[in-house]
Amino acid sequence: MSSHPPDSVSGRVERLRWRLARTVEMLRGSTVPAEDYRPAEHGPLVTFDGLEGYDEVDRYWVNAPYAFVWVGYDDEANEHRYHVVEPDLDDVERDLLSNLFADVRDTLVYDAEYDPEEAEAVLRDRTRSLLEEYGADVTPETFHRLFYYLHRAFEGYEQLDPVMHDDHVEDISCDGYEIPLFVYHDRYTDIETNISYKREELDNFVVRLAQQSGRHISVGDPVTETTLPDGSRAELALGEEVTPRGSAFTIRQYSEEPFTPATLVDYETFDLDQMAYLWLAIESNKSLLFAGGTASGKTTSMNAVSMFVPPRSKVLTIEDTRELTLYHDNWLSSVTRESLGESSDITMYDLLRSALRHRPEYIIVGEVRGEEAMTLFQAMNTGHTTYSTMHADSVQTAINRLENDPINVPRAMIQSLDILCVQTLTYVGDERVRRNRVIAEIEGIDQRTGDLDYSTAFEWDPGSDRFIQQDSAVLDEIRDDRGWGRSELLRELRNRKRVLRYLVERDVTDYREFTALVNEYYADPEAVVERVDRHLDGA
């Protein structure tokens, strides 16, 4: 018997007969494969021949062997299309999946004994045992197609799951009911997908995302911001109260492993001179603020340079949603909390005031937007080293935002900030890139004009795509504080550049490995430099 349903032209009666015949055929006996899926033996689970009007430009697995992404380009419309390809199910397989979904859900709900880490194995066993109870005679291909959709539903993100597995996707935007999702792809920028949600399934999905993250969302309280279990940051809106086109969400995906400074140098967001400068500044307790527009990489850079914090120094991080990851023993992480029942909100301002009682040496705040900025600068003025981010596209814009509503930090307090880095998401040729546009040093208040003075230590030249280094008052301060001469300062910067170059050439992307070598440098810099020199000179 054919494995595909008859053509729809043959009519509903013939279709019903075909489905009954398939059902009888399955009930004659039960054969459920026990072996793992082997592509060479069982054949592909997914196939796709492309979209009419689009030329294929890319295809890659996101969850092999079950799901891949196909990217096409329409030359006439000058647009790309992002197409998720998953296994096709015939009518009988859909019926089986519907029954399995209900039965598996019931058994998982009432069985609280299984270990979440063994969820995939438990789900596989339950699927196999239920198919045997049904008396279903299924091929290995059918079993694995069914298992994929069950796993996607119970342990994944339903139809969004393949996109959540795509390392090339930075942002996912759902704008309402039956509207195609858009993704921001690191190669093709903003691109339309073949995924959309109907009203009920989108409402249910938004509620599920909130519940999985321990947040509340309802028609009466329709907006929430949260961090998903995989670390992605999500903004959720339910219903049509605040988003007239229907429930909506934006998911900002982050790498499971944070970028290291070596990775940022490799991506040319910074160069070796800038990174060696920041390393020495952080060790010397200089306070930093990262500014930039949306998706310019502010938080990524702040997280990366935090790996330069000396070992055993007490570090305290404060965030609205969990994004920062440090490989540091003496690290206290805190996150804001919405009110639960009759309790009040725990805001970033509350956490920052509490943080000062913990006597941290370094305070890292996810982003300053309001009254917490005043407390942050008060901490800065009392000798704490602080790092944070804010939205601003230039040095002057950042200063203006700090001085005016709703932040309102007095100018006399802003001068305690040492370094302001401004990042940008821009183009170099046809490629969209992130660059550190400028590293500015706050020098104090001009006694003549009363304005805040700053100078430029590094500046990015868009024409040559190079970073231009200028004189640095911060480096002069570090030299004076340590009693170094000019040659000693230059030697220290040279050594750190050599270590960073070594890490870049070795492609050290693991933040634990990177931090371990930085800590080793703090313990015995001469031994590390000697080892690095042997590697670089022999390369």
DSSP string across 45-73: S------TT-EEEEEEEEETTTEEEEEEE
Q: pLDDT per position in the chain (539 positions), as tens?
A: 333 343 444 455 555 554 555 455 444 445 666 667 777 777 789 999 999 999 999 999 999 999 999 999 999 999 999 999 999 999 999 999 999 998 888 776 655 555 666 778 888 888 988 888 888 888 888 999 999 999 999 999 999 999 999 999 999 999 999 999 999 998 898 999 999 999 999 999 999 999 988 888 998 899 998 888 887 889 999 999 899 999 999 999 877 678 999 999 999 999 999 999 999 999 999 999 999 998 899 999 999 999 999 999 999 998 877 778 888 999 998 888 766 655 677 887 888 888 878 889 999 988 888 878 888 888 898 888 999 999 999 999 999 999 998 899 999 999 999 999 999 999 998 888 999 999 999 999 988 888 899 999 999 999 999 999 999 999 999 999 999 999 999 999 999 999 999 999 999 989 999 999 999 999 999 999 999 999 888 75
- E strand or H helix that includes residue 24: helix 11-27
* Domain boundaries for CATH 3.30.450.380 within the chain: 55-86+159-252
CB within 8 A of 470, min separation 6: which ones? 455, 456, 457, 458, 459
406 Cα distance to chain centroid: 28
Bridge partners (DSSP) listed for residue 184: 171, 190
3-state secondary structure of 176: coil
Residue 401 one-letter amino acid: R
Distance, in Å, from the CA atom of 228 to the CA atom of 409, rounded to the nearest integer, reads: 33
- Do the beta carbons of residue 313 and residue 438 sit within 8 Å? no
- E strand or H helix that includes residue 274: helix 272-283
Residue with tokens 């046809």, as numbered in its chain: 430
Pure H helices in 284-433: 298-305, 348-357, 372-381, 395-403, 411-414
Residue with tokens 């700090």, as numbered in its chain: 402
- E strand or H helix that includes residue 362: strand 362-365
3-state secondary structure of 244: coil
Architecture in CATH for domain 261-537: 3-Layer(aba) Sandwich (3.40)
- Do the beta carbons of residue 417 and residue 380 sit within 8 Å? yes
CB-neighbour burial class of residue 389 (10 A; exposed 0-12, middle 13-18, buried 19+): buried
Is the preceding peptide bond at 229 cis, omega within 30 degrees of 0?
Answer: no
Distance, in Å, from the CA atom of 411 to the CA atom of 449, rounded to the nearest integer, reads: 13
Nearest to 517 by CA among 509, 475, 297: 509
Distance, in Å, from the CA atom of 115 to the CA atom of 517, rounded to the nearest integer, reads: 36
3-state secondary structure of 237: strand
Q: Provide the 8-state DSSP code for 367.
A: -
3-state secondary structure of 342: coil
Architecture in CATH for domain 55-86+159-252: 2-Layer Sandwich (3.30)
pLDDT at 233: 86
Distance, in Å, from the CA atom of 5 to the CA atom of 99, rounded to the nearest integer, reads: 19
Nearest to 402 by CA among 336, 347, 452: 452
Distance, in Å, from the CA atom of 455 to the CA atom of 155, rounded to the nearest integer, reads: 52
pLDDT at 8: 43
CB within 8 A of 496, min separation 6: which ones? 275, 276, 279, 280, 521
- Do the beta carbons of residue 252 and residue 171 sit within 8 Å? yes
* Domain boundaries for CATH 3.40.50.300 within the chain: 261-537
Provide the strand spans (E) within 168-222: 169-174, 182-185, 189-193
- E strand or H helix that includes residue 466: strand 466-469
pLDDT at 27: 47
Tokens at 19, concatenated: 């489905």
Nearest to 272 by CA among 504, 539, 527, 475: 504
Distance, in Å, from the CA atom of 502 to the CA atom of 505, rounded to the nearest integer, reads: 5
- Do the beta carbons of residue 89 and residue 145 sit within 8 Å? yes
Phi, psi angle pair for 318, to nearest 5°? -130, 125
Phi, psi angle pair for 301, to nearest 5°? -70, -40
Nearest to 410 by CA among 386, 376, 435: 376
